[in-house]
Amino acid sequence: MGFRFMSVGAFIALLGVAFGAFGAHGLKAILSEHMLEVFHTGVRYQMYHAFGLIVSGGAFVLYQLKHFRWATWSFLTGIMLFSGSLYVMSLTGIRWLGAITPLGGVFFIAGWLLLALGFWKLAKPQTSS
């Protein structure tokens, strides 16, 4: 499962680069400056959290902690909700999708919290009985 998440994270980063190039070159003449910035915000957060997916997936491979597994799911869900809503909103003009974006942000925060808690648990000295 961890290696799959790492692979998905790498693929999502690949898509982030492609979407960024598409936004910079293909959408510049089509979208307003504001909507182009909205699109690029989606790309930026997709890239940040693709790396989070790769790190949490790798940590899960190494340590098999549920914190890392749930962090990966949180990052993936956050990318779909946050970046996905921004992409659709900027390309279609459907503004109510902006209400979904903060929910994706909550998943991002949860992912980083779970990742931190997992590493904190690993750093805690283990006592033997």
Give the pLDDT confidence of 19-46 residue by residue, as tens digits: 999 999 999 999 999 999 999 999 999 9
Q: What is the maximum alpha-carbon separation in the chain?
A: 67
CB 52 within 8 A of CB 109: no
Which residue, among 108, 94, 93, has the nearest Cα to 47 in the 3D structure?
108
pTM value is 0.93
Position 1 confidence tier, pLDDT thresholds 50, 70, 90 = confident
* Count of CB atoms situated within 10 Å of the CB of 98: 12
Give the pLDDT confidence of 41-51 residue by residue, as tens digits: 999 999 999 99
d(CA 100, CA 84): 9
Cα dihedral 72, 52, 48, 99 sign: positive
